Structure 1
Amino acid sequence: MVINAQGNDEARTADPGTALLLAAAPVGKGCLIDAAAVLPALAAVPPSALTGTAAATVVELADPLDPQTVLTRIRTAAALPGQLHVYVTGQLHLDHRQHLLHLALARTTPSTLRYTALPWHWLTGELALRRPHTTTVVLDLVADADAWPHVRGGGVGLGHGIRVFGRVSPPPPRRTVLTADYLRTYADIWRTGARPHLARLHETAAGRSGPAEALFVAMDTPVRAFPTARTGPATAPVPTAPAAVAVPHPAAPVAPVPVPQLPPAPPLVPAPAPAPRTRLTAPPAEPAPAEDPHPALLAAARAGRHAEAAALAARWEDEALRVHGAGSAQAVHWLEVRADLARLAQDPGRSCALWSEVAQGRLARGEAPTDEDVEAAVDRAHHQWEQLGDPDRARALAVVLTALRRQVPGRRPGALDAIHRRLEALGTPSPLG
């Protein structure tokens, strides 16, 4: 559901804002939190309260089924200008094969986690591409028994320049379903007409909600952590960056570090002639269309019309998802196209994130870590990461890249150590421990 509304006189800025409300939990006995129950309370709040702006657009996702659909909504919201507020309530699980957090969706079960849940790094990757200090995330989550230690170690970090407030609860007793009372407190206060700062809202909500062992997150700026209402080891603020790539944040540019000789991303080619699937050619499992879009993509990219090329590729990806489904060879191909277009647009951060997504998609399809296409995707993600001149984006993308390198070390030794050395050059603890 999308609501467009004008705010009231209490809105803090005149620029329009966007709020994305995501509430998701499995149906049935796997449910740990009644996530969607808080949405009616939030829907009763003026949209301007959700964004702190005079005008607001609210996008609501209640118990979505498909992770690709959720990713599309996140990507669309993240691409909008102005302030973005993301409210997420649901439950976190850990993928034992890749050791990555996932947000469970309506059809998620333990055996289908990697295919039916939203990988947490999909969310963090899209938000990391936004301009710093334009994004706020409010969380009301519960972690299962496997995910809880990962969360306690800082696994829900969302990157530098993103304000984060929230609660992550440990797994409840068996057959107990929690309520999103932390986020409901926000709604209750907003419905009175009060518009306190989010830091004050967080303090009030943390004081009213439990359990005592919950982890309360309060990061209002990259350098200041607001105190939580509770004390003790379980209530320390979570850093804005994941613990694997925590502060300090030096202002100096990224120092060059010797890395293995990784192959650069492949060149854009216009014709659908037989070639590795990581090139911009027609997907091998699908006949070439009557009008091959690749020449138009190439022409737009060569002319510097990178936004036009990216939009055309995104439309073809949407069509591939509609016709062939998430995880299909056709959908993966268009994701590769978008990754290479980002390289041509000299946006190594987006290219790295997209190539990482390609690798994750191929692994989820059952391709082996030693398959040529899987290794090529990770190599290209690593190559683009090395081109990043923004230390904060390098830190934010290092977590997913490190997880991929652990699973896909590649054919040239030293790739994982290269990430370690570059993070040390940034003054950042390495995630290799």
Structure 2
Amino acid sequence: MDAASVLPVLAAVPPGVLTGTAAATVVELADPLDPQTVLTRLRAAAASPGPLVVCLAGQLHLDRRQQLPHLALARTTPATLRYTALPWHWLAGELGMRRPGTTTVVADLAADPEVWQRLAAVPGLLHLGPGTPLHARVVPAPRRGEPTTPEYLRARAELWRSGARLSPAAAHAEAAARAVTVAPRPEPVFLTPAPAPAATDPAPPVPPTRTAAPPAPPIRTASVAVPVSVPRPPRASVTGSAPAVGVPRRAAPVPAIPPAYTPATPPAPAPAGAPPVDPHPAILAAARAGRHGEAAAVAAAWEHDALRRHGPRSVEAVHWTEVRADLARLAGEPARSCELWLAAAEARLGMLQRADDPDVEGAVDRAHHQWEHIEDPVRARALGPTLVDLRRRVPGRRPGALAALTRRMG
């Protein structure tokens, strides 16, 4: 996928046209190198309460160990896919925490043979959540030396530039027709948000019409453009300047946060010159009131602040990963909670904390507990190997935890 070729056309679109607001901020990542960098930028944009449009162009590849799709980045190779590509479920996790109806994802993707086949076998492989509509064209990756151009995304950009006021469904249909006219081969699959399904009848995205795939091409790079409405400083909602999140300007004394996600020294960043504000009570109150998206957005904003101030290998950043993990538990999302607890445990071990450190053991124990509650067997199998690897390094204080885990994985 010649992803960068569409960036000039997207850059010519007024950002406010994308978000439907008077003004907007655009974050453009052309040929990004590091998945953590992409995640940090995406997380910062997702923390904004306003409309968010994410445009993706690139190549999808399958992590054979976890059987999960990844978006290739600039340094991705088949051997380093798990470490140098952006896991698709990271994208789904960050955008899924936003308020429904505020996020749109438009994508033009080339799928390697394994991903192309799994699109037919696994309904909802690229699903981003019920509140995050995905409009996409997916084509099988071309043969070596025959790059694909993102004609669908180019057509969407031209429609935006033309000033046409089309509904998302109409814009998708028009862009799909133009893309097929310009590049009729290889046969594409167009993904659109499914209509609201009945409670007992989930409606998956449209599967591919064929499973045959060409030989695997060389991995190319991805480009990501993230227009987001302004104002969008992440800390604004945390310090209380945005009434929608309900955080008071001056926090009154409150009981301690439950130990499920409070480290020995929780961070409390605040703007220069302002009194310290503890965001935990308001976050917890929002979660307990059922406003899970609001709570997760505020926690993500504080995590971004910690990453910016202290770096990814810091107690402050890990603390907010653990907060988000417990918020996912409260929201009834055990797979997401397990994933975040695993990330927290890995981060603490990367900071050279001992395997018998109570914080490390606690993170692994909570990841294990949440894994036991995952009802989706695909997600459970995907997270299982990472949990087993951590259990071998961090056996914990409950005898037989590793043996029980391996038996259930068996």
TM-score normalised by length of structure 1:
0.60
The residue type paired with residue 380 of structure 1 is R
Counterpart mapping for 1:37-186 below 5 A: 37-152=5-120, 153=122, 154-186=124-156
Distance 1:375 1:164, change over 3 A: farther
Distance 1:295 1:178, change over 3 A: closer
**Greater share of helix:** 2
The offset of 1:151, in angstroms, is 3.1
The residue type paired with residue 186 of structure 1 is R
The residue type paired with residue 156 of structure 1 is L
Any conservation in 1 of the 2:56–2:106 contact (CA below 8 Å)?
Answer: yes
Any conservation in 1 of the 2:103–2:133 contact (CA below 8 Å)?
Answer: yes
Distance 2:58 2:153 in 1: 11
Any conservation in 1 of the 2:54–2:104 contact (CA below 8 Å)?
Answer: yes
C-alpha offsets along residues 179-203 of structure 1, whole Å, 9 cap, x if unaligned? 0001111122222221211211211
C-alpha offsets along residues 387-425 of structure 1, whole Å, 9 cap, x if unaligned? 9xxxxxx88x9864541125535626777999xxxxxxx
Asked if residue 216 in structure 1 is aligned to residue 216 in structure 2, the reply is: no
Distance 1:223 1:87, change over 3 A: farther
- Counterpart pick for 2:308 among 303, 318, 339: 318
Distance 1:211 1:365 in 2: 48
The offset of 1:115, in angstroms, is 1.7
Any conservation in 2 of the 1:348–1:384 contact (CA below 8 Å)?
Answer: no
The offset of 1:219, in angstroms, is 1.0
Aligned equivalent of 1:36: 4
The offset of 1:374, in angstroms, is 8.5
The residue type paired with residue 339 of structure 1 is T
Any conservation in 1 of the 2:101–2:132 contact (CA below 8 Å)?
Answer: yes
The offset of 1:304, in angstroms, is 5.1
The offset of 1:129, in angstroms, is 0.9
Distance 1:168 1:305, change over 3 A: closer
The residue type paired with residue 38 of structure 1 is V
SS in 2 for 1:233: coil
The residue type paired with residue 157 of structure 1 is H
C-alpha offsets along residues 97-145 of structure 1, whole Å, 9 cap, x if unaligned? 2222111111111222122111111111101111222211111001112
Distance 2:90 2:380 in 1: 13
Greater shift, 402-411 or 122-131, is seen at 402-411
Aligned equivalent of 1:201: 171
Distance 1:295 1:161 in 2: 31
The offset of 1:216, in angstroms, is 0.7
- Counterpart pick for 2:366 among 380, 385, 393: 380
Aligned equivalent of 2:319: 337
Distance 1:89 1:141 in 2: 6
Distance 2:17 2:157 in 1: 9
Aligned equivalent of 1:239: none
The offset of 1:34, in angstroms, is 0.9
SS in 1 for 2:133: strand
The offset of 1:383, in angstroms, is 4.0
Any conservation in 2 of the 1:353–1:381 contact (CA below 8 Å)?
Answer: no
The residue type paired with residue 185 of structure 2 is P
Distance 2:72 2:326 in 1: 35
Distance 2:280 2:134 in 1: 39
Unmatched segments (≥5 aa) in structure 1: 1-32, 236-264, 270-279, 282-292, 388-393, 419-431
Any conservation in 2 of the 1:38–1:180 contact (CA below 8 Å)?
Answer: yes
Instruction: State percent identity of aligned pairs.
Output: 45
Distance 1:63 1:212 in 2: 24
Greater shift, 123-132 or 203-212, is seen at 203-212
- Counterpart pick for 1:359 among 339, 342, 345: 342
The offset of 1:178, in angstroms, is 0.6
Distance 1:178 1:294, change over 3 A: same
Any conservation in 2 of the 1:89–1:139 contact (CA below 8 Å)?
Answer: yes
Unmatched segments (≥5 aa) in structure 2: 212-257, 270-275, 285-294, 392-400
C-alpha offsets along residues 343-394 of structure 1, whole Å, 9 cap, x if unaligned? 6668634896365145258679999xxx88988646424645889xxxxxx8
Distance 1:217 1:106, change over 3 A: same
The offset of 1:88, in angstroms, is 0.8
The residue type paired with residue 89 of structure 2 is H
Aligned equivalent of 2:236: none
Distance 2:58 2:299 in 1: 36
The offset of 1:317, in angstroms, is 3.3
TM-score normalised by length of structure 2:
0.63
The offset of 1:80, in angstroms, is 0.7
Distance 1:63 1:222, change over 3 A: farther
Distance 1:163 1:309, change over 3 A: closer
Distance 2:103 2:406 in 1: 30
Greater shift, 147-156 or 159-168, is seen at 147-156
Distance 1:220 1:95, change over 3 A: closer
Any conservation in 1 of the 2:46–2:52 contact (CA below 8 Å)?
Answer: yes
RMSD: 4.3
Greater shift, 377-386 or 55-64, is seen at 377-386
SS in 2 for 1:61: strand
Task: Point out which structure has higher relative CO (alpha carbons under 8 A, 6+ apart).
Answer: 2
